[in-house]
Amino acid sequence: MRTVIKRLEITHFEQLQLIQDEQLSSLTIANQSLAGSTVQSSTYTSVAFSSCVFYGCTFKSVTFKNCTFNGCNFEFSHMYDCHFENCSFIDCHWMASTTRQSHFVDCELDHTLSSMTEAHNNVLHFTFAETERAKEVHSMLAAAFVAA
């Protein structure tokens, strides 16, 4: 298990790796290439992925919280039972990739990823929409009470 919790940058190439129980927090991972690898049961918190390539990778039961993916390339990569919370995907490429049974909570998805999540039991959930709706209902009830 690799645990890294500090501000630094990781840049390297790995292939055919089993990355399991990895805990990374508050990092920048730039220009990393990961090919034919499996990442499972890992947690990434406040990690900025920039210009990374994930070729033929499998992500299983991985949690991403407050992460950004900017200009990343996911080719032939698959995400199973992953959890994304408050993550953003900007200018990423998703050639021949899939997401299955994954949860996206308050995430900013690019067009392709948004389309990919429409099948295979993925869940998109936006808590800020619920909060705004609750505020609207509260305002309507208050206005109705004052009018009565």
Looking at residue 8, what is its pLDDT? 47
For 143: left if phi > 0, alpha if psi spans -120 to 50, otherwise beta; the answer is alpha
| Separation between Cα atoms, residue 148 and residue 146, nearest integer Å | 5
Looking at residue 13, what is its pLDDT? 78
pLDDT per residue as tens digits for the range 9-55: 555 678 888 999 999 999 999 999 999 999 999 999 999 999 999 99
Question: Backbone phi, then psi, for 25, in 5-degree steps?
Answer: -145, 140
In this structure, how many other beta carbons lie within 10 angstroms of the beta carbon of residue 117?
Answer: 22
SS3 82: coil
Give the total number of structural domains in the chain.
1
Looking at residue 65, what is its pLDDT? 98
Looking at residue 14, what is its pLDDT? 83
Looking at residue 95, what is its pLDDT? 96
Residues forming a β-bridge with 4: 24
pLDDT per residue as tens digits for the range 53-107: 999 999 999 999 999 999 999 999 999 999 999 999 999 999 999 999 999 999 9
- The parent domain of residue 26 ranges over 3-147
CATH number at residue 80: 2.160.20.80
pTM of the entire predicted model: 0.81
